[in-house]
Amino acid sequence: MTMLSRLLLPSVFACCVVADSRLRGANILQNSTFEHSGAPTHNGALDPETEKAVVFGARGGQKEFEAVELPIVSSAGCATSLPEGPLPKVAKLSADKALPFGHPKSTFDYPKRDGFTLWLVEEFEEPLDLNTDPIWTWSDGGLSEGRVRFIKDAINFKDGKMILELRKEGLSQGDRCSHAEVDTVGHKELTSGEMRTRYNLFRYGFYEVNMRTPSVQPGNPWINGNYISTMFVFRDSKFRHWREIDIEVLAGGANEVTTNVINGDNQARWQSWMQDSGMRKPWNVNTRKDFHTYAFEWLPKKITWFINDEVVRTYVWGKVPVPDMSTKIMMNLWVYNGNRPVFGGKNVWANQYPMQAEYDWFRFYKWNGEDKYPCRAMDVSCVTGDDLFLASNNPCDGIDQRGVTPRGKCPCLAKCAFENR
């Protein structure tokens, strides 16, 4: 879910969204047409916070989209918003728990940052159960422009590291229905992993990871290929308010690092006007040979990116505003489509599988000026309905898939297979 991860908006979305007949509540006027800013639209999705119908309509005949609340009140979501069958029991945290959350080293004196509070630490010294952990889970997504389906079994914990493994064979891809993509995903050539936080709980703060990206071929960190190895924040789902800040390490060169900020509303797919991107190639870095520390500081009016504690980019204003809504933290590894990929490195033919991205640790420092996120117990006590809109990550997370898709359909629901583990 990164830089080029969504292509042009489907034309059907530019015209109208029709409410699905399975929507709960009888007050939805099926196929009713309304006029908005000169363009006819249909009543469609329900706002999970206000429980009002929302219209996505073309404004002034141009491809600009905005949501308009209509005075039609009904229950939010569809008739069923959770998969059938048993689900894992997710652990709960207390609001009285001492900071930081996660799994810090009890004897380590963590660095202090003026104006920030250390809130979340993962050292990966012990395996995380991504079905029951109160903060972290896994993605079942698969980007349309990628060769990869994300699965839980591609996320491993070994020797004090979190490991994301790209494989060509041997692992099941599970149900075609993807909760993370809010869509069905066809069979992919590769499997890999994406570890992410459960809820849109994270906003202003300092995000930091120590990681080593894969060697395209074993034993040689200088051979170039194709992959995107990441740490980023992303508002899930993207359909209403696409907010994203990225660190993407690429396989096109041993020191290629892309930084992105994305900000767009009511878009089903990525468009170039939503993004401001910058490539950095630090001369003293080989991302595959050694572990390096990548970070960004997200404040209300500025984003600053760092590599090994050195500033590599500062963003105050450009093509898009600095994001201002809560997000999930994500880390993933994937490969771009095609024999001549337009992102991630041109030499995809050089890739040899399996390959692994290794994460040594992760830290999040909350900005002391942040007055809302995260919730003190790392739960949903401080979130809005909009924060929970189509926000399920996988069929086992127990999170209601609230809302309808951009085409006005109820989201698909996959079955959680955890009982077979």
Q: What is the DSSP string of 185-225?
A: ----SEEE-EEEESSS-B-SEEEEEEEEPPPSBTTBTT---
Encoding tokens for residue 331?
């880390």
Residue type, 41: T
Q: Cα dihedral sign for 376, 416, 270, 245? A: positive
Which pLDDT score, from 0 to 100, does residue 67 have? 38
Output the CA angle 372-305-151, nearest 5 degrees: 75
- Would you say 212 and 331 are in contact if contact means Cβ atoms under 8 Å apart? no
Measured CA to CA, the distance from residue 22 to residue 420 in angstroms comes to: 31
Which pLDDT score, from 0 to 100, does residue 419 have? 60
Is residue 161, in this structure, part of any structural domain at all? yes
Measured CA to CA, the distance from residue 67 to residue 73 in angstroms comes to: 16
Lowest-pLDDT choice from 33-37, 322-326, 356-360, 366-370 = 33-37
Is residue 402, in this structure, part of any structural domain at all? no
Q: What value does the mean pLDDT of the chain take?
A: 83
Helices (H), ranges, 222-332: none
Q: Phi, psi at residue 154, to the nearest 5°?
A: -90, 0
Lowest-pLDDT choice from 15-29, 222-236, 325-339 = 15-29
CATH number at 341 reads: 2.60.120.200
The number of distinct structural domains making up the chain is: 1
Give the DSSP H/E element, type plus range, for residue 233: strand 228-234
Is residue 421, in this structure, part of any structural domain at all? no
Lowest-pLDDT choice from 69-73, 116-120, 304-308, 412-416 = 69-73
Q: How confident is the model at residue 44 (pLDDT cuts 50, 70, 90)?
A: very low
Over 60: is that where the pLDDT of 400 sits?
Answer: yes
- Would you say 142 and 414 are in contact if contact means Cβ atoms under 8 Å apart? no
- Assign 48 to helix, strand or coil: coil
DSSP codes joined into one string, 271-299: -GGGEEEEEE--TT--TTTS-EEEEEEEE
Over 80: is that where the pLDDT of 350 sits?
Answer: yes
Q: Phi, psi at residue 69, to the nearest 5°?
A: -80, 130
Q: Which domain holds residue 210?
A: 101-367
Is residue 278, in this structure, part of any structural domain at all? yes
Which pLDDT score, from 0 to 100, does residue 239 have? 87
| pLDDT, tens only, 248-292 | 999 999 999 999 999 998 887 888 889 999 999 999 999 999 999
Is residue 36, in this structure, part of any structural domain at all? no
Is residue 315, in this structure, part of any structural domain at all? yes
In this prediction, residues 332-344 reach a mean pLDDT of 95
Is residue 84, in this structure, part of any structural domain at all? no
Which pLDDT score, from 0 to 100, does residue 55 have? 34
In this prediction, residues 85-94 reach a mean pLDDT of 94
Measured CA to CA, the distance from residue 307 to residue 255 in angstroms comes to: 11
Output the CA angle 224-303-136, nearest 5 degrees: 70
Encoding tokens for residue 237?
């789902």
Measured CA to CA, the distance from residue 294 to residue 296 in angstroms comes to: 7
Is residue 335, in this structure, part of any structural domain at all? yes
In DSSP terms, 228 is beta-bridged to 250, 334
Measured CA to CA, the distance from residue 240 to residue 222 in angstroms comes to: 41
Lowest-pLDDT choice from 24-38, 70-84, 138-152, 274-288 = 24-38
Measured CA to CA, the distance from residue 256 to residue 27 in angstroms comes to: 53
Which burial class, exposed, middle or buried, applies to 272 when counting CB atoms under 10 A from its CB (0-12, 13-18, 19+)?
A: exposed
Q: Of the candidates 286, 287, 304, which has an alpha carbon nearest to the alpha carbon of residue 295?
A: 304
In this prediction, residues 50-56 reach a mean pLDDT of 38
